[in-house]
């Protein structure tokens, strides 16, 4: 093989004889005394072909290789090529592109790489099928880099990868990009309209992985950039900043099973940074959710005055393992507005270490002039779940954090919050006003310890929690601590909790006290309106004393519940008696419900039972049932089911007027009272098998 010095000697002799430089230009001396050269492509061809570079040789260590526009160079399984000082591709013409294709066993090192032009001439570098590329700085303008089942690594520079002005960087089919910056910014998107796409596994099942090691930023410092991580793709970086001052329209999409891991994520940063979005959506073909793992860190939607930024989690997408904040963490006191977190259509945020909506960090309450920011949890299967023992806050900090809101609706749920605060201020100078939490239309908010609205002795006012129109407020303690601080005694002006046509639920607890025409334990300070329902979810209640009867009915007092629901696990009333009045209702579903006293039902009743896990109501005292009711059965019935047992038979009619919901009309099914066994049975005729849904 020809050595570098031999190659140089032949080249120098050739040049002297010909009196010209062909396609090379001398640029200096290398450390071994030989001259560094710039090699310019003369034609399309293979990297190792002399004719490709003008016939005098090929680029050597320390040289510059310049692949001019309208030229394509390939390097297929050429082994390790000499390391270049500089590589340029397609930097001359604004209309014609240059191309470099590395494949197979080829390994190329270039300390500095620049390719493409701001005029989007379409220049390309492709690294594929096991090839390797290494360097220090890689800058591309309006061009495309593809790493396909290959390796691409940069190190030793503060900002090693710099996409500019319409550049596209595509990592696919198990390829790996590894950036190890010396500090500063690992990736910086300069000028606008750049794209980074990560996705696809190789035939071995390896994911495409884009890795930024250490603590540098992944930084979109321009406008209208798009980062997409899709099925089989992973992006890992310590700090991800989607925008800086005045940056707008940047989008990070995690779709179809893509994975992003980052412990510090900022969507909007500093004033005039707006309309930046993170979207986490969908699952891959194996059902794996698109996932944004915060690694125990924080996602900040709005920091230091940015506005109209959003985080959207939908269609099975998952954001997990971190704190969620809309609020300031620095020393600047700038307004931030109309930032939105939306969990919808089956999206999930889980393992959340805290929610700070228009509030500073726990140890830094600096946050002011944040207004009309929101969190929306909407749609069946949509979930925002706190990690055990974590808190939530809406409208806090130094003051003037107004009209911020959380809305939970249409089957969406927020679960596991320990202490929840609305409109609490850290100073007595300026209050926080009109911050709202609304639970409506089947939405559910669960609190495990306390609820605080407003701050004692301060000017916080008009902050509300409203549970309306079928919204569910659920406690996992029998006696929650409720504190409502207000300078106004007028409920329309002051701080309050409103329950209007809502559902108050206790889950997994016992000893909830019921008193006629009064609210249950701990919630007497609520503003009650309309017709409200009490639900025990694997929980039990007690009447004020053993001889007390609590009547479920529309008494005209909204503090008296008009409906009682007993669902899941073990439920019931362990002390006292229950009467379901003519205007009241009882639902018993997928539970074994125990009544230590009597159960008298004059109003509506519905029993939902699953054959595999039957519902049963055990009444130690007197049982009375109405002439009409409903039984819904799921599963395949082959034997009689016990629906009720009782100690004393009260008024129990023939039950022929009850509705039995099933999909098949074949065979006979009826309700029967077995007085000898003191039971009410769901009876099926011998030899008949009926399937119910």
pLDDT digits (tens, 9 = 90+) for 569-614: 999 999 999 999 999 999 999 999 999 999 999 999 999 988 888 9
How far is 140 from 168, CA to CA, in rounded Å? 9
Q: How far apart are CA 423 and CA 573, in angstroms?
A: 37
How much is the CA Rg of the chain, to the nearest whole Å?
35
Is residue 520 exposed (0-12), middle (13-18) or buried (19+ Cβ within 10 Å)? buried
Q: How many other C-beta atoms lie within 10 A of the C-beta of residue 664? A: 12
Q: What is the pLDDT of residue 172?
A: 98
Cβ-Cβ contacts under 8 Å for 165 (sequence gap 6 or more): 118, 120, 141, 142, 190, 191, 192, 193, 194
What is the CB neighbour count within 10 angstroms for residue 461? 19
Q: What is the pLDDT of residue 236?
A: 96
More confident residue, 92 or 101: 101
Give residue 1's pLDDT band: very low, low, confident or very high (50, 70, 90): very low
pLDDT digits (tens, 9 = 90+) for 204-223: 999 999 999 876 678 888 99
* Residue 640 within any structural domain of the chain: yes
Grade residue 491 by pLDDT with cuts at 50, 70 and 90.
very low
**H/E element, 541:** strand 540-543
* Cβ count within 10 A of residue 582: 10
- Distance between CA atoms of residues 340 and 67, nearest Å: 47
- Residue 17, SS3? helix
Write out the residue range of the structural domain in which residue 599 sits: 573-692
What are the tens digits of pLDDT across the range 609-633? 888 889 999 999 999 999 999 999 8
Torsion of CA 549, 553, 558, 563, to 10 degrees: 100
Average pLDDT in the chain: 87
- Where are the strands (E) in 230-295, listed by range? 233-241, 251-255, 259-261, 264-266, 277-281, 291-293
Min mean pLDDT across 514-528, 641-655, 676-690 is at 676-690
> 63-72, 143-152, 488-497, 642-651: lowest mean pLDDT where?
488-497
With respect to residue 606, please indicate whether it lies within any of the assigned structural domains. yes
555-558 CB contacts, 8 Å cutoff, 24+ apart: 555/516, 555/517, 555/581, 557/517, 558/499, 558/500, 558/528, 558/529, 558/530, 558/531, 558/532
* Spatial distance between the Cα atoms of 22 and 18, rounded to a whole number of angstroms: 9
Asked whether residue 461 is domain-assigned, the answer is no
Query: How far apart, in whole angstroms, are the C-alpha atoms of residue 615 and residue 132?
Result: 64
Closest among 432, 297, 323, 326 to 384, alpha carbons compared: 323
Least confidently predicted of 252-266, 314-328, 331-345: 331-345
**Token output for 371:** 């207004």
In a domain, 653, yes or no: yes
Identify whether 366 is part of a domain: no
Cα 630 to chain centroid distance, Å, stands at 40
DSSP helix/strand/coil, 526: coil
- Does residue 526 surpass a pLDDT of 70? yes
Indicate the residue among 122, 155, 188 that finishes a domain. 155
Reported confidence tier of residue 343, pLDDT bands at 50, 70, 90: very high
The answer to whether 475 and 451 have CB atoms below 8 angstroms apart is no
Judge whether 15 lies within some domain.
no
Decide: 54 and 22 in contact? Cβ < 8 Å.
Answer: yes
Distance CA 460, CA 400 (A): 9
For residue 601, what are its two tokens?
């039902």
Task: For 128-153, give one letter per residue: b (16+ CB within 10 A) or e.
Answer: bbbbbbbbbbbbbbbbbbbbbbbbbb
Q: Give domain status of residue 677, yes or no.
A: yes
Using CA atoms, how far residue 8 sits from 3, 13, 49, 78, in Å, is 8, 8, 16, 21
Q: Is 52 helix (H, G, I), strand (E, B) or coil?
A: helix
Instruction: Report if residue 357 sits inside a domain.
Output: no
Torsion angle of alpha carbons 448, 454, 455, 456, nearest 10°?
-100
Cα 350 to Cα 416: distance, rounded to the nearest angstrom? 10
Distance set, CA 380 to CA 151, 515, 518, 558, 589 (Å): 42, 34, 32, 28, 19
Q: Is residue 690's pLDDT more than 50?
A: no
What is the value of pTM for the model shown?
0.91
484: its two tokens: 């409502």
3-state SS assignment for residue 191: coil
Q: Which of 678, 568, 685 is nearest to 637 (CA)?
A: 685
Q: Residue 18: what pLDDT?
A: 37
Find out whether 348 and 313 touch, Cβ atoms under 8 Å: yes
Final residue in a domain of this structure, among 137, 155, 173:
155
Least confident of 460-464, 502-506, 686-690: 686-690
Q: What is the mean pLDDT of residues 96-106?
A: 96
Domain count, the chain: 2
Boundary-marking domain end, from 133, 155, 177: 155
Residue 186: the pLDDT is: 79
Contacts of 45 (CB under 8 A, 6+ apart): 51, 52, 73, 74
pLDDT of residue 397: 59
């Amino acid at each position: 093989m020809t050595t570098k010095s031999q190659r140089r000697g032949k080249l120098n002799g050739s040049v002297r004889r010909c009196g010209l430089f062909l396609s090379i230009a001398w640029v200096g001396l290398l450390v071994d005394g030989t001259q560094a050269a710039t090699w310019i492509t003369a034609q399309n061809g293979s990297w190792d072909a002399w004719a490709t570079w003008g016939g005098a040789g090929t680029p050597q260590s320390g040289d510059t290789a310049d692949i001019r526009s309208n030229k394509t160079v390939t390097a297929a399984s050429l082994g390790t090529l000499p390391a270049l000082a500089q590589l340029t591709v397609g930097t001359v013409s604004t209309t014609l592109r240059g191309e470099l294709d590395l494949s197979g066993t080829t390994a190329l090192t270039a300390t500095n790489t620049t390719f493409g032009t701001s005029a989007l001439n379409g220049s390309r570098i492709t690294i594929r099928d096991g090839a390797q590329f290494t360097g220090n700085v890689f800058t591309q303008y309006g061009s495309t880099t593809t790493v396909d089942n290959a390796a691409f690594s940069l190190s030793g520079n503060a900002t090693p990868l710099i996409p500019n002005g319409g550049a596209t960087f595509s990592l696919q089919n198990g390829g790996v990009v590894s950036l190890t910056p010396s500090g500063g910014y690992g990736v910086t998107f300069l000028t606008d309209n750049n794209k980074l796409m990560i996705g696809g596994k190789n035939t071995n099942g390896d994911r495409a992985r884009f890795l930024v090691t250490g603590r540098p930023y992944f930084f979109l410092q321009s406008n209208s950039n798009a980062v997409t991580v899709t099925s089989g793709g992973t992006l890992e970086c310590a700090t991800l900043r989607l925008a800086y001052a005045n940056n707008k329209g940047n989008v990070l999409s995690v779709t179809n099973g893509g994975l992003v891991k980052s412990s510090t994520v900022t969507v909007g940063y500093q004033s005039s940074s707006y309309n930046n979005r993170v979207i986490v959506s969908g699952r891959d073909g194996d059902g794996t959710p698109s996932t944004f793992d915060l690694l125990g860190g924080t996602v900040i939607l709005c920091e230091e005055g940015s506005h109209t930024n959003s985080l959207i989690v939908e269609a099975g997408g998952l954001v997990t393992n971190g704190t969620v904040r809309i609020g300031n963490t620095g020393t600047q006191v700038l307004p931030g507005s109309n930032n939105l977190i939306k969990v919808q259509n089956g999206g999930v945020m889980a393992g959340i270490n805290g929610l700070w909506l228009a509030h500073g960090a726990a140890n830094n309450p600096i946050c002011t002039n944040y207004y009309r920011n929101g969190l929306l949890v909407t749609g069946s299967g949509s979930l925002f779940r706190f990690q055990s023992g974590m808190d939530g806050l809406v409208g806090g900090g130094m003051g003037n954090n107004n009209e911020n809101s959380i809305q939970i609706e249409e089957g969406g749920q927020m679960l596991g919050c320990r202490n929840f605060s609305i409109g609490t201020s850290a100073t007595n100078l300026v209050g926080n006003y009109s911050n709202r939490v609304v639970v409506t239309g089947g939405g559910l908010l669960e609190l495990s310890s306390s609820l605080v609205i407003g701050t004692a002795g301060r000017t916080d006012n008009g902050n509300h929690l409203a549970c309306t129109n079928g919204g569910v407020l659920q406690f996992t303690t029998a006696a929650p601590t409720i504190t409502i601080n207000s300078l106004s005694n007028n409920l329309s002006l002051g701080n309050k909790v409103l329950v209007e046509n809502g559902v108050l639920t206790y889950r997994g607890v016992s000893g909830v006290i019921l008193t006629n025409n009064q609210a249950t334990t701990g919630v007497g300070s609520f503003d009650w309106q309309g017709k409200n329902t009490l639900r025990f979810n694997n929980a039990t209640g007690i009447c004020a004393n053993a001889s007390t009867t609590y009547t479920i009915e529309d008494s005209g007092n909204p503090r008296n519940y008009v409906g009682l629901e007993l669902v899941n696990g073990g439920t019931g009333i362990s002390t006292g008696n229950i009467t379901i009045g003519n205007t009241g209702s009882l639902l018993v579903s997928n539970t074994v419900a125990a009544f230590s006293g009597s159960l008298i039902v004059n109003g509506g009743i519905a029993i939902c039972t699953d054959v595999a896990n039957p519902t049963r109501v055990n009444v130690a005292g007197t049982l009375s049932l109405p002439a009409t009711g409903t039984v819904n059965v799921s599963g395949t019935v082959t034997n009689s089911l016990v629906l009720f047992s009782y100690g004393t038979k009260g008024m129990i009619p023939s039950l022929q007027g009850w509705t039995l919901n099933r999909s098949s009309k074949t065979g006979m099914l009826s309700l029967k009272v077995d007085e000898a066994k003191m039971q009410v049975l769901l009876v099926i005729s011998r030899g008949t098998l009926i399937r119910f849904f």
